[in-house]
Amino acid sequence: PTLVEQGIVRIEIKESNPIHITRVTAYREDAMTVVRGEAAFPMWKSFGIFSGHIDIDIAIPGNEVLQRRNVALVRTRIPKKRGRRAIFRSKFEFDFPKGTVANIAYHVGVN
């Protein structure tokens, strides 16, 4: 089970337009914690290009916030026309304690 299913990590996604962040989860892999998710254009948007990046803020109980900026989006299989999708993945070198909140946001450009 993922850390989200176990109730250790809560995911909060900031709204963005037209790209929506979907299916975000956190899990343990090879002694690291991985935050992984997907970004997608809506089906009615033709030939969308992912020109931005993902920002991840990990709020650990006790007021500590870890920031991971400019996480790259990697396109998945490109449909001929509509509904393009991309995945992102970021690794952290420690266990998240219970009560951790992962804030995920998509930003256009490099900042």
Q: Supply the mean pLDDT for the chain.
A: 88
Within 10 Å of residue 2's Cβ, how many Cβ atoms?
A: 14
pLDDT at 64: 86
Quickly state the pLDDT bin for 46 (edges 50, 70, 90): low
95: three-class secondary structure by DSSP: coil
Structure tokens at 13: 């996604």
Contacts for 74 with CB less than 8 Å, ≥ 6 apart: 86, 87, 88
